[in-house]
Amino acid sequence: MANAAQAQGKGPGALVQSVDRAVTVLELLARNGEAGITEIAGELGVHKSTASRLVSVLEARGLVEQFGERGKYAIGFGIVRLAGAATERMDLSRMGRPFCESLAAELGETVNIAIRDYDVALNISQTRGTASVTTHNWVGQRTPLHATSSGKVLLAHAPRDDQDALLSGDLEQYTTRTITDPAELRSSFGLIVRDAYATSYEELELGLHAAAVAVHDQNGDVVAALSASGPAYRFTRKRVREAVGSMTSAARELSAQLGYWES
């Protein structure tokens, strides 16, 4: 079956090749400003009909646009949408760094900023505290929503439809303390929203404690979570509760920079 699919151009290899060709087209248009089907086909080393089908798919997604009925193609406004999403993440990372550094210095623990990338928490910024001995870099790492303090904050503030979809599958158990019961997780969402923070006590890694608070954008939506984490022997439950106050103040200031003001 797999060989038959590949023979018809539908196997994994063909799909990867199609993606590579699509990226090549976008790079060509970004470099030259515009290009016709003949030029695109020459760049890809394929027949013009193949290039035309590929460009049609990109055009349907708004990633390229055509000038005139039979004119050349250029980058479409769909790219602006994608670039905007990346820019927002970079801006949040840049704006959040001073707060991470200040908190890390105050708490002595590692401080992170994470955003929700649908079914995971994506860490976009990190500062290690003065007491931190770990060299683990969480930036760019995707961590589970249900087993991390950042993930719980992001999940608790997610739309109900997203919550239903994300909790409908099997939730991985990382340690004996990981909560994998959807009903139990749901019952905690109200408390997380009410108390404005979430915790993770050895739920992702044994010996690791963490707490996170929400960061809001100008519309009041939760766009990120600011967290602090450290070894359980030092970042005890008592210290976690004490740290939440400073974390909340930092998140409030960062939210204000993003245009959010609490009523």
Of 263, 260, 228, 230, the residue nearest 243 (C-alpha):
228
Cα–Cα distance for residue pair 101/158, rounded to 1 Å:
27
Residue 12 has pLDDT above 80, yes or no: no
Structure tokens at 87: 């820019």
Domain-terminating residue out of 75, 104, 121: 75
- Please check whether residues 164 and 218 belong to one and the same domain: yes
151 falls within a domain: yes
Domain-terminating residue out of 51, 75, 99: 75
1 falls within a domain: no
pLDDT band of 3, cuts 50, 70, 90: very low
Domain range enclosing 28: 14-75
- Please check whether residues 146 and 64 belong to one and the same domain: no
Q: Tell me the HSE value of 96 on the side-chain side, using a 13 A CA sphere.
A: 30
Residue 35 per-residue DSSP state: B
> Which CATH number belongs to the domain containing residue 64 in this structure?
1.10.10.10
Cα–Cα distance for residue pair 95/115, rounded to 1 Å:
14
- Please check whether residues 36 and 159 belong to one and the same domain: no
> What is the per-residue pLDDT across 180-215, written as a single tens digit (0 to 9) for each?
999 999 999 999 999 999 999 999 999 999 999 999
- Please check whether residues 65 and 144 belong to one and the same domain: no
- Return the higher-pLDDT residue of 263 and 31: 31
- Please check whether residues 215 and 243 belong to one and the same domain: yes
Domain-terminating residue out of 75, 98, 124: 75
- Return the higher-pLDDT residue of 117 and 136: 117
9 falls within a domain: no
In terms of pTM, does the model score above 0.85? Answer: no
Of 155, 250, 246, the residue nearest 193 (C-alpha):
155
